[in-house]
Amino acid sequence: MFRRTFVALTAATALTSGAAFAGSHSKDIVDTAVDAGTFQTLVAAVTAAGLVDTLKGDGPFTVFAPTDDAFAALPEGTVEALLGDIPTLTSILTYHVVPGKVMSTDLSDGMMAGTVNGAEVTIGTMDGVTVNGANVVAADIEASNGVIHVIDAVILPPEN
């Protein structure tokens, strides 16, 4: 429903933000997302789920990050409901995170990537890069503990 771990952000803005940190990568994934200014909903959700310390940890992590616009596109009341349902929120957020640092050049069409949630996401590369159908609108925004790929929709884990 609200995945995801990022489209108010245009590709140009995301790439500019990434470029600002590309040299030293001194900021972790959370601080990089905060500084971008277009992931306020994601950061609020990560905070509510108690995942901030994890995503500030050593990693490395790859985060498919939905923008604020991606969250806004969810049905009315969805974000609020998820903020009140921490187990579901955590499941959704961890579905946006892949262990390790996966750069765009590492991706191939049909590739399956295991997420921290335990389920896999499917990568597409035929008409632009997609993750479970969400478009990657900016890629390879490096952080000190991994990389962020900005997506235009929240992706949902499969039902158990």
Could you read off the pLDDT of 8-21 as tens digits, one per residue? Answer: 222 323 333 343 33
Pairing of β 146-151 and β 61-66: parallel
- Asked if residue 6 is part of any domain, the answer here is no
Mean predicted confidence (pLDDT) in 126-142: 95
Task: CATH number of the domain at 27, please.
Answer: 2.30.180.10
- Asked if residue 120 is part of any domain, the answer here is yes
Please give the Cα distance from 93 to 97 (Å, whole number). 7
- Asked if residue 147 is part of any domain, the answer here is yes
- Asked if residue 38 is part of any domain, the answer here is yes
pLDDT of residue 6: 28
- Asked if residue 106 is part of any domain, the answer here is yes
Tell me the pLDDT of the chain averaged across its residues: 86
Contact 156, 75 (CB under 8 A): no
- Asked if residue 114 is part of any domain, the answer here is yes
- Asked if residue 74 is part of any domain, the answer here is yes
Mean predicted confidence (pLDDT) in 99-117: 96
- Asked if residue 2 is part of any domain, the answer here is no
pLDDT band at 26 (very low <50, low <70, confident <90, very high): confident
Q: Which amino acid is at 130?
A: T
Q: How many domains does the chain have?
A: 1
pTM: 0.84
Residue 86's domain comprises 11-151
